[in-house]
Structures are given as C-alpha cells and as structure tokens.
C-alpha cells in the first residue's frame, strides 16, 4: 500500500467491510440454477448500495440487471462500470473446505462462492462510490453502473439490452470490475482478450447403434471418422492445420517479442503447477507468446458410444477457437467447415453446428489514457513494482459488445487474481485486495477526471439528470 | 414343417405351450439389476422343469445356475445343453408397445423380454425332454444341462464353475440354445464365432481440467492426443493399421470365397436397413467376407471433457477387437500396445487398460458330425431349403470355455433369429419357431444318437447315475 496522503478517502475498517461482503456472498445467485427470486434478491442488494444514484433492478428476458447513474459532474468524463452479481455453481460441496455461501476468513484470504468472481471486485466499487459521496458529496466523474446477472451463463440478455439502450449507456470508457489480474506476484493490466467461436462437429453413421460384432467391418464407424477429423485439425508441431485459420493473425513483432521476453516466467514452475512433464504448442514460440499472442483451436470435449460393444451411430466433438488480432469469427468458422468438407469420409455424414456467440478478439492500445491512468493508479498502490502488460487469454464478450454499440473501449480493472479458484471449489480472494482495490479505484477515477491522464469527454450525458 | 412321421413325438398344442412360456417370461430376471431373489425364482422355474433329471439350483459367486443330468443311456453319446435364464434390461418402457414381462401374442410373433434371448429357445429344449420322457420313457442320449443366469453380464461366475466341475460337465458335444440364426429367410447354422478383446486407451494431460483460454496453446490436449491415437488405428482403406494385428489371420481361400459368394446377400437392402448411404470396410472384399472372415478393431466409445470451455485433463477411448482364425488375444493386445507406444505424443501420458475377458475365435469344422446332423435335422423341418453355413460375428465366450476345459465342441442350435430385437425394445420371437424348434431338436438328438451322423461317445459318463 502506498503512503497515506491526507486528501485520500477514509474507508471503514476491514472487519466492517467483510461483514457486509459476507451478506452479499450469502445470497446464492448461481445463474445456472437459482430461482428468479434468488437472483432478484442479489440484484436488489446491489441496487440498494447504489440508492444515491437511482440504483434499480431492471427486468430483462432473463435474470434482471442492476442499473444506476450518477451524472452530476458536468464537463467531466463519463464512465460505465461493468460487473456481475451472478456466480458459478458450487460443484460438489464435498470439495469445499467451508460452506460456499458462508464467507469465511482463513488467514490472509476470504473464501466463498463469488468472493473473487465477481462479487468481491464489484463490492470494492460500491464501497468506493459510497465513500466519495459521504466524504466529498459527489464523484469526480459521471458514472453509470451496469451489473448483470447472467455473465456466468454467457450473458444471453445483455446484447439486446445494450443495443436497445445504447444512448443511455454511452460513456467515454467502460471499466470492468470483472477479469482477473494475471498472477499474484506483481500488479498487471490486460491490454487484450481473445475472441471465441465454439462449434460442434457431429459424425453420423447408421440409424441406430449397431452391435460391434454383428455389423463390424461392414459400415463406417462415426467415432473413427470423428477421430480422423479431430486429428486433422493440428499438425505435428502443435499448429492449427486448417487452411485460412490464421488469416488476420500477425507475426509477433520484435518489440512485442522483447516485451514478452522481459516478463519473468518460469516454464518449470508452470509445468509443476499443472502436473505435466512437458509443455506443448506451436514450435519456435515461447509459452507466453503462445498463450498471449496466438490463436488456438482446442477440442474441449468428445462423446460417442460408451463402454459397451457397439458401433455408435453418432459421435460429437466440441471445439473452442480462441482468436487474436483481426481474425474474423465468421472466417474461422468457414475455414473449419471447408477443412472438414475436404476430408474423405465414406459412409459418414458430418454436420457442423456453430454456436451463436461469435466474439472477435479485443484490444486496447497500451498508450490509451485509461491504461496510462490505471498504471499510475497501480504504481501508487504498489510503489516500486513494475506493472505488467498482460493479455486475458480468455474471452469477455461484454467488451466487444460495448465497443460495437457505444464505441467505448474497456479497461479491465479487477482486484481478483487468476489463481483464486475462479469457477472451482474453495474460491478465495486475498483479503488485502479490498483495501488495495479501494485505493486503486480512487486513484484511477481521480486521474481519469483531471491531470495528464484525464479522459477527454466526448459523450453527451444522458439519463436521469440530463 | 416337414411331413408328420408316425414315430415322431406329439407336442402339446401351441396355446398351452405359450401359456407356460408366458409364466417364465413374467419373472423379470434382468441380471444387470434384479435381486438375487428374483434370479433364484427364475432358476427355480427352470429347475422344476428338469425335475425328472435332478434339476437343481446351484449357487455360484454370483447368480445361481441350473444343473440337471439325465445319464441313463449307457453306450450312447453325452451332450451338454447350454443356455441362460437371465435377460437384458428393458431400457425405457416407453419404447415398448406392450409390457416386456407380460408376454403378448401379436400376429405371427410373441413379444416380451427374453422370448428370443434366451428364454424361448431354452423353453423349446425343456418341452422336448419332457415329451421324450413322457412318451418314450427316456432320452436317446445322455444329456447334461447347464442354464446360467449371468450371460448378459459377461458370465463372470461361469469359468470358475466349469473349471471346478470339469469332469461332471464332460460331454461329447455342447449344444447351445443361445446364439441366433443369421436371418429369417432361410435356415442356417453357424460354424464360427469371433473372438473378443476389449480395452480402454486413456490419454492423460494436466492434473485437472484447464480453462481453454487461460491455458490454451501452452499444454497438450488429451482429446487431441486421443484423436491422433484412434485415427492411427486404421488406414484409409478401412484396414487395421496396427502392425501384427493380422497375425494368425489367413487370406480367404477360393473355396470359402465361392461359398460366401453363393450366399444371397443384397448390399442395397442392407444399406437401406441401416440407413447408410455407403458401406465401408477393407477394400477388395465383399460385405459378407468382411463380416464373417475378417477381424475388426472398432472404437465403441469415446469420452472426454464436454460442451464447456476446458482442455480436459483426460480422454478415454473404448476399443473392441473381434478376432478370427488363430489370432491370439494376448498378441493382439501387445500389438495395440506397441502401436500406441510408437506414437510421439509430447506432454501426454497414455495408459492402456485391458479388460479381463480375452476370448479367442471359435470354429467348428463344417464336416463335424454335429454340423452334418444339424443340417439333416433342419432339412427335415425345412424341406427343400438350403441350410446356409454362416458365422456368428459376435462372441460367445462359453464355447471357448467349454472347449478349453472339457475339449467339447459347441453346436449353436437356436431358434432365435438375429433380427428379433435381441437386447432392444419389443423383443419378439416368431411363434412358428417353437414347433419348428421342437421338431428340429428331436431330429437332431435322434440323429446324434445313431445312424450315419451319430457322435462317437468318448466321454466316460459322470454324475448322479454313474
């Protein structure tokens, strides 16, 4: 933590903050399985925190979202704060050391479902704005809030809501409280996230499962055919062997290569943490270069038949392509379709079913004022530590949506860390991230409002106080 | 049905037989799920039918089996009748037109679980021996009965029972009431069945499923590796590409090729029945040659990950190899192991888990007295129709077991037909198979006892009346 400066905000003691966060964690807002009633309860909890800004629960076709606007800083830039109040399923309770909905302090961390994804990081912003209002009577910026309840199920209702309310949501910058810092050893900012298309490849054979003896050798086996298809997607060197897949992917230039090489990263430690004897991927590239700068085509699942003697009538492979640079999701889908159609598979009919969501890669320039301000804010909280510029190798569809609809870039500014068991049992948050996050958001907003890193306000203010 | 000859047995009217069969079908002896009590009830039903021969329920490590011996034909050959009283699960009751355990007459067929596999075919033998005893005061041969209750779950208790009672079970011939005739259009006998080894190929990667974005491109994906392994098992021409797999497989000679070519078989009709646009298998061989004379290596199932964004930490392929000729099950396993070990799969650990049962192919010579007697018996019941010599492309482990332990060959003599929904919903039996079967078994036993096709009795009689 940086030096305490007299004009900084004062926050409630950590114990008080944790008691309040525990209340929020206790609402089991698991978007995959909760009732609408439970989801509304969580949304209402957030809306109450934003009462001073007209916080309200807004119904959608799915679970409600929370909206609020504080637009009383004329001439100042406008930001949109994004986050989510829904959480992942707990999985088997047996794998948790404590009740996932009863937040528990354990040494330097708090444990519970949602503490780091994304209730804890959103909670930090809620407490920040309350401190500003209480101690300063207002915020340094105009701030809009959009906290959704469907992030963990792919945000199905978000696009239509954002498109229908584009003007109301207009902002100079989106700041996402979702999206974790890369690792605990140093502060980092992400300047890119990967795009995503997912699809299923289905190999169909006979009209029903056939006895593997009484029909074996006479008809094509869909699992054989699927294996041939899946094996053909990569070359022996770990590259994707689909013609046209790499269209729009630039070679890593020397500057970027040097930047990445300067990031301390230990392959041996990484291997040990994953329990593998060897890393694997495109030849001639370092692990971080592959992870951050290169697109991938992973088979995320495969299914067909079982442990009984049949020639299955159908076999399915699930594919997830993570995109970078200017890769066009439609172009990637077409390339995969052309590749599969080019294979000779007698007696098998292949279908390719592409999922609806097609997310291009996202990037914010390292020179963007938001990155410069965020770097300065982190430098203030973590003095003497270099801020790494990392990449979120996952996909955050909301960022692309906001850019497409409102033109605003997104800054990821989360005080979650990627190793905190997101989506897994025993999800935790390093407790110190709460005071660090409060101070960092405070600095960030102050820096974005005025001074050398200030945003240039472009957007007409809209909303309640217009 | 052949001409009624005055010295043939008289059987009860079909209605009476069907009423009694319905009683047997009503006992839901599903070996995969029934209680031991239900299984004992079915065994006891069979044992009561064999009371005159000391029919008894014999406990094993699993479900009981039924044993009986009628050994009062000194100097005559001895046969062992094999069958099973257990049945397959019904699957979803919704897919049945009638209650599977309430046998229903529907036009020319009776429907119910077990009518054709194997309660109906065993019932025919029970009624035959009762008619012999009632009308002739004895059987033309010495007959031992072994009706097991675990056939549909792989006969786990049979090997130890047979090995422990080898002398008691000694016979000149085993006749199996299990194993269906090939198709309904003409009578057939099977002179061979395929062997079987099954195994799982398991590709292991990291110590847990990994987010496909946050780890993609850095580690090997077990589903990619498994697909590569599975795709490598076959060549483009449908042949098995595993070095050594075909050891012990002879080329099909001209005589056999001519025999098979003489069997009427319509590829187009077969394709239509399976709903495929093309057949597939080793180049240069006919469909029947591939089905009857060639070994196969089918992937019966594959599993790993799912439709969610992970790099699965494990992927598994299930393999069933059907063997012919002198293929050695152990040799086939070794060949597959060598093949897989020869593949370069960086970052992946591959396990091969071989299932316990390793069944070599079975064959009975077409000139064996049993085949000649059975052909004559079928000619008697189906005058003017050629008896086809077919192959059971499935596997009947009991045959190999009996040959190994007692030296006796097995004749498959079932009045089930392979299209009667064995293991499927709406299992049925052509009702006329009951009187046809009774007359055919009667002829068979008469012919095996004396005349040109008689068995030469080699076995010292053992058992109760020794």
Q: Where are the domains of chain B?
A: 14-193+362-449, 196-249+295-359
Q: Which residue blocks in B95-207 are alpha helix, DSSP H?
A: 119-136, 158-164
The minimal CB distance from A276 to the residues B205, B277, B304 is found for: B205
- What CA–CA distance (Å, rounded) separates A225 from A230? 9
DSSP letter, residue A95: G
The answer to whether A222 contacts chain B (CB < 8 Å) is no
Q: Which residue blocks in B313-357 are alpha helix, DSSP H?
A: 329-341
B196-249+295-359: CATH topology: Alpha-Beta Plaits (3.30.70)
A346: left (phi over 0), alpha (psi -120 to 50) or beta: beta
- What CA–CA distance (Å, rounded) separates A104 from A108? 11
Chain B: give the shortest CA distance to residue A91, in Å.
14
Strands A388-392 and A188-193: parallel
Position A426 pLDDT exceeds 90: yes
The answer to whether A367 contacts chain B (CB < 8 Å) is no
CB contact under 8 A, B216 and A307: no
Q: Which residue blocks in A306-457 are alpha helix, DSSP H?
A: 329-341, 369-381, 397-406, 433-449
Nearest Cα to B204, choosing from B347, B340, B338? B347
Six token digits for residue B151: 């056939």
Average pLDDT over residues A295-311: 92
Question: How far, in whole angstroms, is CA A308 from its chain's centroid?
Answer: 40
Position A4 pLDDT exceeds 70: no
Nearest Cα to B173, choosing from B412, B388, B375? B412
Q: Is-contact B417 B89, C-beta < 8 A?
A: no
| A195-249+295-359 matches A14-193+362-449 in CATH topology | no
The answer to whether B269 contacts chain A (CB < 8 Å) is no
Chain B residue with minimal CA distance to A309?
B300
Nearest Cα to A416, choosing from A399, A400, A441, A434? A434
Give contacts of B419 with chain A, Cβ < 8 Å.
none
Position B355 pLDDT exceeds 80: yes
- What CA–CA distance (Å, rounded) separates B229 from B221? 13
The H helix count followed by the E strand count for chain A is 13, 18
Close Cβ partners of B258 (under 8 Å, ≥ 6 residues apart): none
Of 1.20.1090.10, 3.30.70.360, 3.40.109.10, 3.30.70.1350, the CATH number of A195-249+295-359 is: 3.30.70.360
Q: What is the DSSP track for B254-283?
A: HHHHHHHHTS---HHHHHHHHT-SS--SST
Six token digits for residue B452: 């040109």
CB contact under 8 A, B280 and A218: yes
Position B146 pLDDT exceeds 60: yes
The answer to whether B284 contacts chain A (CB < 8 Å) is no
Nearest Cα to A192, choosing from A182, A177, A206? A182
The answer to whether B4 contacts chain A (CB < 8 Å) is no
Average pLDDT over residues A75-95: 94
CB contact under 8 A, A214 and B311: no
The minimal CB distance from A303 to the residues B277, B287, B303 is found for: B303
Report CA torsion sign: A259, A264, A268, A271.
Answer: negative
The answer to whether A231 contacts chain B (CB < 8 Å) is yes
Give contacts of B275 with chain A, Cβ < 8 Å.
206-207
Position B191 pLDDT exceeds 70: yes
In A149-194 the beta strands, taken as DSSP E runs, fall at 173-176, 188-193
Tokens 């039918």 -> residue: B49
Residue A67 has a pLDDT of 98
**Do the interacting molecules here have an ipTM over 0.85?**
yes
- What CA–CA distance (Å, rounded) separates B42 from A100? 51
- The DSSP bridge partners found for residue A389 are A189
User: Three-state SS across B101-121?
Assistant: CCCEEECCEEECCCCCCCHHH
Residue B148 has a pLDDT of 98
Mean residue pLDDT of chain B comes to 94
Nearest Cα to B372, choosing from B263, B255, B454? B454
Best of B213, B288, B290, B345 to disrupt the A interface by mutation (most A CBs within 10 Å)?
B213
- What CA–CA distance (Å, rounded) separates A76 from A41? 33
Chain B: give the shortest CA distance to residue A288, in Å.
8
Tokens 């007697």 -> residue: B373
Give contacts of A217 with chain B, Cβ < 8 Å.
281-282, 290-291, 294, 296, 322, 393
Residue B123 has a pLDDT of 98
- What CA–CA distance (Å, rounded) separates B429 from B105? 10
Position B464 pLDDT exceeds 50: no
Close Cβ partners of A384 (under 8 Å, ≥ 6 residues apart): none
Q: Give the confidence band of A431 by pLDDT, cuts at 50, 70, 90.
A: very high
- What CA–CA distance (Å, rounded) separates A442 from A444? 5
Residue B463 has a pLDDT of 38
Q: Go through B171-188 and write b for each residue having 16 or more CB atoms within 10 A of its CB, e for each that does not.
A: bbbbbbbbbbbbeeebbb
Tokens 């036009």 -> residue: B107
CB contact under 8 A, B227 and A393: no
Give contacts of A278 with chain B, Cβ < 8 Å.
220, 346-347
* pLDDT tens digits, A388-406: 999 999 898 899 999 999 9
The minimal CB distance from A311 to the residues B198, B270, B298 is found for: B298
CB contact under 8 A, A276 and B347: yes
- What CA–CA distance (Å, rounded) separates A316 from A303? 5
Six token digits for residue B435: 């009187």
Six token digits for residue B465: 């009346």
Residue B5 has a pLDDT of 52
Residue A2 has a pLDDT of 44
The answer to whether A287 contacts chain B (CB < 8 Å) is yes
A 172-211 residues inside an 8 A Cβ radius of B? 194, 196, 198, 200, 205-207, 210-211
* pLDDT tens digits, B32-74: 999 999 999 999 999 999 999 999 999 999 999 999 999 999 9
Which secondary structure element, helix H or strand E, spans residue B430, and what is its range? strand B428-430
B307 or A322, greater pLDDT: A322
Position A463 pLDDT exceeds 50: no
* pLDDT tens digits, B223-250: 999 999 999 999 999 999 999 999 999 9
CB contact under 8 A, B228 and A231: yes
Give contacts of B217 with chain A, Cβ < 8 Å.
281-282, 290-291, 294, 296, 322, 393
Residue A6 has a pLDDT of 54
In A85-187 the beta strands, taken as DSSP E runs, fall at 104-106, 109-111, 142-148, 173-176
Residue B3 has a pLDDT of 45
Close Cβ partners of A255 (under 8 Å, ≥ 6 residues apart): none
CB contact under 8 A, A207 and B274: yes
The CA distances from residue B224 to A302, A319, B163, B228, B348, in Å, are 10, 11, 45, 6, 10
The answer to whether B274 contacts chain A (CB < 8 Å) is yes
Q: Give the confidence band of B307 by pLDDT, cuts at 50, 70, 90.
A: confident
The minimal CB distance from A301 to the residues B210, B304, B346 is found for: B304
Residue B171 has a pLDDT of 96
Q: Is-contact A420 A427, C-beta < 8 A?
A: yes
Best of B153, B267, B298 to disrupt the A interface by mutation (most A CBs within 10 Å)?
B298
* pLDDT tens digits, B376-388: 999 999 999 999 9
Position A466 pLDDT exceeds 80: no
Question: How far, in whole angstroms, is CA B38 from its chain's centroid?
Answer: 23
Under CATH, to which class is B14-193+362-449 assigned?
A: alpha beta
- pTM score: 0.88
Nearest Cα to B225, choosing from A204, A233, A354? A233
Q: Is-contact B148 B160, C-beta < 8 A?
A: no
Q: Give the confidence band of B456 by pLDDT, cuts at 50, 70, 90.
A: confident
Give contacts of B205 with chain A, Cβ < 8 Å.
276
DSSP letter, residue B80: E
DSSP letter, residue A153: G
* pLDDT tens digits, B81-115: 999 999 999 988 998 999 999 999 999 999 999 99
- What CA–CA distance (Å, rounded) separates B134 from B9? 10
- The DSSP bridge partners found for residue B147 are B66, B83
Strands B142-148 and B173-176: unpaired
Position A154 pLDDT exceeds 90: no
Q: Residue A441's CB: how many other CB atoms inside 10 A?
A: 25
CB contact under 8 A, B224 and A299: yes
Position B2 pLDDT exceeds 50: no
The answer to whether A281 contacts chain B (CB < 8 Å) is yes
The answer to whether B315 contacts chain A (CB < 8 Å) is yes
Angle subtended at Cα B353 by Cα B349 and Cα B358, rounded to the nearest 5 degrees: 150
In total, the C-beta contacts within 8 angstroms joining chain A to chain B are 247
Chain A residue with minimal CA distance to B193?
A213
Angle subtended at Cα B419 by Cα B422 and Cα B388, rounded to the nearest 5 degrees: 120
Six token digits for residue A310: 């049949």
Give contacts of A232 with chain B, Cβ < 8 Å.
231
In A85-138 the beta strands, taken as DSSP E runs, fall at 104-106, 109-111
Q: What is the DSSP track for B355-377?
A: EEEEE--EE--TTSHHHHHHHHH
Six token digits for residue B314: 């494990």
Q: Residue A20's CB: how many other CB atoms inside 10 A?
A: 15
Which secondary structure element, helix H or strand E, spans residue B399, and what is its range? helix B397-406
Chain A residue with minimal CA distance to B211?
A394
Nearest Cα to B60, choosing from B42, B36, B87? B36
Residue B459 has a pLDDT of 55
Q: Is-contact B201 B345, C-beta < 8 A?
A: no
Give contacts of B302 with chain A, Cβ < 8 Å.
223, 226-227, 302-305, 315
* pLDDT tens digits, A331-389: 999 999 999 999 999 999 999 999 988 899 999 999 999 999 999 999 999 999 999 99
Please tell me the least confidently modeled range out of A75-79, B349-353, B455-459.
B455-459
Nearest Cα to A152, choosing from A423, A371, A459? A423
- What CA–CA distance (Å, rounded) separates A276 from B204? 9
- How deeply is A190 buried, as exposed, middle or buried, from its count of CB atoms within 10 A (0-12, 13-18, 19+)? buried
CB contact under 8 A, A394 and B213: yes
| 3-class state of residue B394 by DSSP | coil
């Amino acid at each position: 933590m940086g030096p305490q400066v007299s004009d900084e905000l004062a926050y409630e003691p950590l114990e008080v903050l944790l008691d309040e966060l525990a209340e929020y964690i206790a609402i089991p807002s698991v978007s995959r399985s909760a009732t609408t009633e439970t989801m509304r309860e969580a949304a209402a909890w957030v809306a109450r925190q934003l009462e001073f800004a007209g916080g309200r629960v807004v119904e959608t076709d799915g679970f409600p979202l929370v909206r609020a606007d504080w637009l009383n800083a004329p001439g100042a830039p406008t930001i949109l704060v994004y986050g989510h109040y829904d959480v992942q399923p707990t999985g088997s309770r047996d794998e948790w050391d404590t009740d996932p909905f009863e937040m528990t302090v354990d040494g330097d961390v708090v444990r519970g479902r949602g503490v780091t994804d994304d209730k804890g990081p959103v909670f930090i912003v809620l407490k920040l704005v309350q401190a500003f209002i209480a101690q300063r009577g207002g915020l340094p910026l105009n701030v809009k809030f959009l906290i959704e309840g469907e992030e963990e199920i792919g945000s199905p209702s978000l696009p239509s809501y954002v498109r229908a309310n584009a003007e109301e949501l207009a902002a100079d910058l989106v700041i996402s409280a979702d999206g974790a810092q890369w690792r605990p050893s140093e502060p980092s900012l992400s300047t890119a996230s990967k795009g995503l298309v997912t699809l299923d490849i289905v190999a169909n054979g006979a009209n029903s499962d056939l006895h593997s003896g009484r029909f074996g050798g006479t008809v094509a086996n869909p699992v054989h055919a699927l294996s041939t298809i899946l094996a053909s997607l990569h070359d022996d060197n770990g590259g994707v062997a689909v013609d046209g897949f790499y269209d729009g992917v630039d070679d890593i230039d020397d500057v970027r290569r040097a930047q990445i090489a300067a990031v301390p990263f230990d392959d041996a430690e990484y291997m040990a943490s994953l329990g593998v004897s060897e890393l694997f991927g495109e030849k001639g590239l370092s692990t971080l270069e592959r992870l951050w700068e290169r697109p991938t085509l992973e088979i995320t699942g495969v299914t067909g038949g079982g442990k009984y003697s049949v020639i299955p009538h159908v076999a399915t492979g699930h594919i997830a392509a993570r995109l970078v640079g200017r890769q066009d999701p439609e172009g990637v889908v077409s390339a995969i379709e052309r590749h599969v159609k080019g294979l000779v598979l007698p007696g098998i009919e292949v279908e390719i079913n592409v999922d609806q969501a097609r997310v291009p890669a996202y990037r914010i320039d390292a020179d963007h004022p938001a990155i410069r301000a965020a770097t300065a804010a982190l430098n203030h909280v973590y003095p003497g530590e270099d801020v790494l510029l990392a990449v979120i190798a996952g996909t955050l569809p909301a960022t692309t949506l906001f850019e497409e609809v409102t033109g605003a870039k997104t800054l990821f500014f989360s005080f979650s860390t990627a190793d905190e068991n997101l989506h897994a049992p025993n999800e935790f948050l390093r407790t110190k991230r709460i005071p660090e996050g409060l101070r960092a958001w405070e600095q960030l907003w102050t820096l974005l409002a005025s001074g050398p890193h200030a945003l240039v306000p472009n957007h007409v203010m809209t909303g309640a106080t217009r």
